Amino acid sequence: MALKLYDLALADPDIRPSPFCWMVKFALLHKGLEFETAPVGFADKANYPDPEYGRVPVIIDGEETVKDSAMIMAWLDKAYPENPLVATDGEAAAAEFSRAWLFSSFFPAVSPMLVARIHALAADDDKPYFRASREERFGKTIEELAATTGQKEKVEASLQVLSAPLGRYRFLGGDAPNLCDYYVMGAFMWPRLSTSEDIYEAPQPVAAWIERMLDLFDGYARKAKRPS
Ligand SMILES: N[C@@H](CCC(=O)N[C@@H](CS)C(=O)NCC(=O)O)C(=O)O
């Protein structure tokens, strides 16, 4: 039986913007593992594999249930050692750094630009939960978040740190992608699939790397449905 990934869906069930689910999708593709996805809405907790946890990604592989993108990565390399996501302690440390950079820099910069857009695209049944949970998390209304100024510039400043490594190497993993690339590109799929607009401009080496990442695995990420 194919491995199952629980994935977050918007009102259009083919639009799947979750950055953490994308990190896992890239990792599964890297491993060459077959998988199917099970879409769930934000508030649809009864259909989550663990309603109390109430988050995705969660993967089910036979008897195994694994939650949390970072835990899933570690589990994948243990259960399926072929094509490691990180081959050395150095690569593991770099991947942890990449993930920490997302949380300290990229996500805080981009989130205010996305919350209202995602709310507009969420299923009607999910909207009240999404609004309440995000307004509690950010301490602002969705409308106040959407009106925040200067976020585009903050995202663009945050992306500058990637210009030097990606100007020198094809991937953050060097000649070939590794977990660092999947963490960062997984995060970049979030704005890509939450709006039809290009809401920031990436520096040239980063933009070129994004195109390379979209081409991987027979263009899997490039083919993902975007809002119209
Ligand atoms: N630390 C978790 C975070 C997972 C997470 O926050 N997922 C979001 C989707 S991107 C979610 O499940 N949201 C459901 C909700 O907001 O209730 C991971 O890395 O997997």
Query: What DSSP line would sit under 53-105, residue for residue?
Result: T--S-EEEETTEEEESHHHHHHHHHHH--SS-S--SHHHHHHHHHHHHHIIII
CB-based contacts of 105, cutoff 8 Å, min separation 6: 158, 161
Looking at every residue in the chain, the average pLDDT score rounds to: 98
> To the nearest 5 percent, what fractions of the chain are helix, strand and coil?
55, 10, 35
Q: Are residues 129 and 175 in the same domain?
A: yes
Q: Whose CA is nearest to atom 12 of ligand 1?
A: 55
**213 and 111 part of one domain:** yes
Q: Is residue 228 included in any domain, yes or no?
A: no
Range of the domain at 106: 89-219
pLDDT per residue as tens digits for the range 131-184: 999 999 999 999 999 999 999 999 999 999 999 999 999 999 999 999 999 999
Structural domain contains residue 224: no
Note whether 54 and 134 are same-domain residues: no
Q: Are residues 136 and 55 in the same domain?
A: no
Q: 181 and 123 in one domain?
A: yes
Residues 16 and 95 in one domain: no
To test the pocket of ligand 1, the residue of 26, 55, 107 to mutate (highest count of ligand atoms within 8 Å of its CB) is 55
pLDDT digits 0-9 by tens, 69-114: 999 999 999 999 999 999 999 999 999 999 999 999 999 999 999 9
Domain assignment present for 84: no
Give domain status of residue 226, yes or no.
no
Q: Residue 227 domain-assigned? A: no
Query: Considering only CA atoms, which residue is closest to atom 18 of ligand 1?
Result: 68
Q: Which CATH number characterizes residue 181's domain?
A: 1.20.1050.10
The enclosing domain of 9 has a CATH number of 3.40.30.10
Judge if 170 and 97 occupy the same domain: yes
Pocket of ligand 1 (CB under 6 A): 8, 18-20, 42, 54-57, 68-70, 133
Domain count along the chain = 2
Q: How many CB atoms lie within 10 A of CB 147?
A: 11
Report the pLDDT value the prediction gives residue 1, as an integer from 0 to 100: 72
pTM flag (> 0.95):
yes
